[in-house]
Chain A
Amino acid sequence: MNRARVDALFAHAIDLREDERADWLARECADDAERAHVERLLRADASAGDFLEQPPALVAAAVSGVVQERGSPTVFGAYRVVRSIGVGGMGEVWLAERDDGEFQQRVAIKRLAYPTPGLLHRFRQERQILARLEHAHIARLIDGGLDAGGMPYLAMEYVDGVPITRHVADAAPDLKALLELFLRVCDAVQYAHQNLVVHRDLKPSNIFVTADGTPKLLDFGIAKVLSADTTDAPTQTVARLLTPDYAAPEQFDGGAITTATDVYALGVVLYELLTGRHPYRHARGGASAGDVPDPLPPSAASRDRRAARTTGRVPRGDLDRIVLVAIARDASRRYASAEAFATDIRRYLDGRPVSANPGSLGYRLRKFAARNRYPLGAALVVVAACVAATAVGWRQMQRANEQAARAQAARQFLAGVFEQAGPNRSQGKPMTAHELLERGEQQLGRFGGEPAIEADLTGLIAGLYWDIGDAERALALLKQADAAIDDPRVPDEIKARNLVRRAMIERRNKNNDVAVVHARQALDRAERAGAVAARERSDARRAIMLATEGAAGVDYTAVARDAQALLAEDEARFGGRSDMVAKDLGLLVVALLNAGQYRAGVDASRRALEIDGALYGERSAAVSDDLFYIGMGLLQMADFAGAEAALEHCAAVRTDVYGADNIETIDARTFVLLVEELLGRYAEVLPKRLQLLEDQRRFRDSNPGMLADAYNMLGDSYVILGRFAEAESAQRESLAIRAGKDGTNDSIASRRALSSLSDALQLEGRYSEAEAARRKTLALAVAAYPTGGDVPNAERGELGNILRLQHRHAEALDELRQAATALEGGSKVHASMVQAQLAEAELDAGHPDLAFAAATRGLELGRASMPRGQRRLAYPLFALARAELAREHPAEAEPLLREALAVRSPPYPAHDPRVLEVKVALVDALTGLGRPAEAQALRAEIEPLLKASATPYAKDLLERLGARR
């Protein structure tokens, strides 16, 4: 038997569907023995499952000596042991009493199972913070020390109660009471978060409920105390301490531990309380995101549970979504804080709409999408989301900090760097900024004995790295600088400055909760530093606003108000044309644009532009940001020419500052192209779009969503240019980038590309494939918006339309009537579209009067929601014209058709079915109006084009054309 052949056959067979395999093997295998081998491998493949999927944990004994036997202690310092309470993952726990007779105090003593040298030191560091946690629902950390055997222990407030899961099982509260209990837990967690303490190890056995029903959280901050020094130890080590069922994915992946980490654990606990089971039951341990199946919504998970039925605890709809958002594996999709989580639960209890929504390019996308549905087109909305998430103005914060008291040392240092950069030392080649900074970085070690200067310069170089667009390097340096955060020799204002920089970069990386924590610490440091840190104080306040601004449920009007207040203060303190004021304006612009106050946003950005130009020069990052937001604002106001000018200017400046393929530059270039398309220049845009795509390709791994969007937009451009096959392959590429590990596109993020794919297939005349794709988008939309709404119903309308094109009239009418009814009172743009599709279906089914009513309504809605010239308006225009023709009113039809044609041609080419269908109707109208010469000329123009097309729709149109002859 040939081993290589068996392997090759096996490798091929695993890609086949199971039901295809037998035939294929029978055909390909040389003999029975070979086939038996391949089949054995296939069986092994099917049974392998989790085999080898979990790396082996290295057990202590593998690397260290024998663990020492330890007996049961009777005292811990001043505490006398009453009895053992239990053994946990970290060690044994005892109930103890204070022994000095002064007062009775019962404590829980936790002794660690394994020697941990750094622990006491960390304990002392953390203790101040932990002791600050005074909350009715948090068990306090009281003391800690070494026992007689030299083993460290912790003493905590003793709570006489049971784990929350037990309490709920015993007391069986109804849904409302259960949620209210849970809200008290959230409040405690939120309180701790406000004090900058993340629990990291929340689980039912750490959430006790006392006999009178009061929840108490145990072990707050303990995981942190137990963890190694945060500056250099990977968090994975800590993760091994945790209970895998409740630890968030980032705790295993080495991701940032943030308030969202606790939100995850809270979410899992709530899920379990509601359903009695764990959401990721089969995914214990450090499985990484893609390997884990999505959890069932709690309602489905608890559907068959008797307990849930009898206690009326069956959660539904919004509560499902709230829980699923809380336990999202991707931390950035979760609620940013326990408070946001609690707020949604409260809204649910009050019957108000909740912010949780799995549509999920985030709240800002929804906000943008809601505001911009029509004038800009859907493609813009997608990009708008990416850009809305882009920071404005914050980069400016990192500038002009150079005037520190240590300017002398800094100057010498920089002089040294520049001297190195002189022609003698760099072999005559001019050095790039990046090389210069690398040299500088290498020399940082020179200041090892002077931590203040080292910290200051580290931050400075980090800021410069960011300015030249290397955020990764900047962040690495700032993390390095974090090591000095407790060093008393480094002044608070330097710490504040570096913390602000860190916060801003974290925010740029969309780690908003990490950003908030650093920004708050920065403010704390700046306030401690006093007057010398006035600038840092302002920076920190701005950073906090910017970091919280990205979270779910933000009220941008309120952010704008706060920004105005800070602006006024800074104008008074630093002067009206100061860099501080420019930064405040940057923040204000973001808030105003997001709040829909475009005019005010553009004005503020123009003012910032003037100041930044004077401060940093016309070719600076700050100026490019201002230009970008001017462009965005003008775009929203439909001033396309103005937007184009601003964005082109921005792209040019960014190309200078960062290079053509930097992500900032790409943002600007993307928008320039969109604006050009909005101005109708599709054909000219196409080569530029392909060029842009080339520059985006390198982001395939780091930012696949952006690349997928780029292909999606490319496909949309092809559709407009009538190049359907190319459109199809672009959409398929977009889908391939978005596909999950298993190669399927089951996420709502794939809906747009699937929808565009369906459009392209439909225009190619491949109806059954188009229908299949459309049914999938509909399913995704329904799953994402289970309560209905514009998106699923718009999808349903599209499905109806593709059914109509296949002459499946009854099915088409079914879907379209349902969608039209559901969209009453919904988005007018979508309702107008669906009414137009319904009208055509009624016509094709032979109901001209119903068609006329639907088309009239469709155009009415379209006129009310779209400006003349909007391409989507062509659908109700055409539908109504067809209805008028069916009613023998060619005079009414003609102007409608002319308007539709003006909208569609250009940009669509002459052979595009969307142009041809209008012209066919126009022939009909002209004939009816007794203008045979014009009709004949038009007929002669389109008939060959229709005959040349192989699509079923072309045949339909030919038939329609023939009917009048």
Chain B
Amino acid sequence: MAGDVTALIEAASGGGDACALQALFERVYDELKVLARRQLASSGSSTLNTTALVHEAYVKLAGSRERELHGRAHFFALTAKAMRQIVIDHARARATEKRGGHPANILELDAAADVIAGEMPADELLRLDRALTLLESEEPRLAKLVELRFFGGLGIAEISLLQAISPRTLNRDWRRAKAHLYVHMHPDV
């Protein structure tokens, strides 16, 4: 498996091959879900940590060998994007349920909510997603940072290494990204 993903990563990151990119994205999206299910099954927890998942997906798909940096950076960016998709898909489903959908077993899940630090309500996540899409069109670099950090759970040090941008710059970018998104989400600030 690592082999053909490697080829996909190379095709996608090197020549801007759109088909390869789409194939890879789907692959990563599926793999994240598979890994998440497996972790859920073996951990006994109702929630998962996205940081762990993203890293696990990397090992699983790209193999444990060190890749050259460009390929790694590309892969993590893609995985963070896939994670964003999964989280937002879920938030959308859940928001629908709340608006009079079926009375699923949300309650039981909510019982574990006290161990989830910082989880955003579904509708806030959706608004964040929209704000992020807007930011993407204005300043793609900031949007990418938010994907890597918030959805991908990567730390500043790791992102710095991947993108060869100094932590100082990243911290400043992070602050800027947060402010822009915050303004989008709270227009009355």
Contact = CB atoms under 8 A, between A and B. Distances in A.
22 contacts: A7-B176, A44-B178, A45-B178, A45-B179, A52-B178, A55-B151, A58-B36, A60-B46, A60-B48, A63-B36, A63-B37, A64-B36, A66-B105, A113-B111, A116-B43, A116-B44, A117-B42, A237-B42, A240-B45, A240-B116, A284-B118, A285-B117
B44 A90 contact: yes
B40 A64 contact: yes
Nearest to A286: B117
B51 interface: yes
B59 to A, nearest CB: 9
Interface stretch (B5-13, B68-76, B83-91): B83-91
Given A226-B43, A237-B52, A741-B171, A285 B182 contact: no
Contacts of A87: 111
B1 interface: no
A61 B51 contact: no
Contacts of A242: 115
Contacts of B94: 61
Interface in B23-62: 33, 36-37, 39-53, 55-56
B2 to A, nearest CB: 14
A10 B155 CA distance: 24
Residue of B44, B179, B182 contacting most chain A CB atoms (<10 Å): B44
Given A55-B150, A56-B151, A63 B175 contact: no
A701 B183 CA distance: 34
A55 B51 contact: yes
A40 B189 contact: yes
Contacts of A91: 44
Nearest to A122: B42
Contacts of A243: 115
Interface in A236-252: 236-244
Nearest to B146: A52
Could you tell me the dominant secondary structure of chain A's interface residues?
loop
Contact of B179 (A44, A50, A229, A241): A44
Contact of A10 (B93, B149, B161, B179): B179
Nearest to B59: A232
A59 B45 contact: no
B115 A58 contact: no
A175 B142 CA distance: 52
B9 to A, nearest CB: 21
Nearest to B125: A56
Interface string A118-139: 1100000000000000000000
A51 B50 contact: no
Given A56-B50, A226-B44, A238-B45, 13 more contacts: A10-B179, A14-B175, A56-B119, A56-B125, A57-B119, A58-B50, A61-B109, A89-B115, A116-B42, A117-B42, A233-B39, A244-B117, A287-B117
B90 A61 contact: yes
Interface in A26-45: 40-45
Contacts of A788: none
Interface residues on A, range: 35 or more
Contact of A50 (B118, B161, B189): B118
A114 B56 contact: no
Contact of B47 (A11, A53, A240): A240
A575 interface: no
B176 A11 contact: yes
A260 to B, nearest CB: 21
A54 B118 contact: yes
A67 interface: yes
A572 interface: no
A701 B150 contact: no
A9 to B, nearest CB: 11
B172 interface: yes
A856 interface: no
B181 interface: yes
B189 A236 contact: no
B141 to A, nearest CB: 11
B144 interface: no
A41 B183 contact: yes
A239 B111 CA distance: 17
B183 A63 contact: no
B178 A285 contact: no
Q: Which 4 A-B pairs have the closest CB atoms?
A: A285-B117, A54-B118, A62-B90, A236-B52
A679 to B, nearest CB: 39
B33 A63 contact: yes
A116 B139 CA distance: 43
A287 B51 CA distance: 13
B181 A52 contact: yes
A104 interface: no
Contact of A113 (B41, B46, B138, B155): B46
Interface in B150-189: 150-151, 153, 155, 157, 161, 171-172, 175-176, 178-183, 186, 189
A125 B68 CA distance: 40
B118 A53 contact: yes
A111 to B, nearest CB: 11
A3 B119 contact: no
Given A87-B111, A285-B118, A701 B157 contact: yes
Contacts of A286: 49, 117
A288 interface: yes
B53 to A, nearest CB: 7
A60 B105 CA distance: 11
B19 interface: no
Interface string B88-105: 011001100000000011
Given A55-B51, A241-B115, A116 B41 contact: yes
A47 interface: yes
B18 interface: no
A591 B117 CA distance: 46
Contacts of B36: 58, 62-64
Residue of B42, B155, B157, B175 contacting most chain A CB atoms (<10 Å): B42
Nearest to B172: A11
Interface in A213-230: 226-229
B41 to A, nearest CB: 5
A45 B171 CA distance: 13
B40 A114 contact: yes
A422 interface: no
B6 to A, nearest CB: 16
A117 B38 CA distance: 10
A114 B89 contact: no
Contacts of A741: 171
B42 A89 contact: no
A520 B48 CA distance: 33
Given A55-B51, A228-B43, A63 B115 contact: no
A115 interface: yes
Given A40-B183, A89-B112, A112 B172 contact: no
Nearest to B44: A116
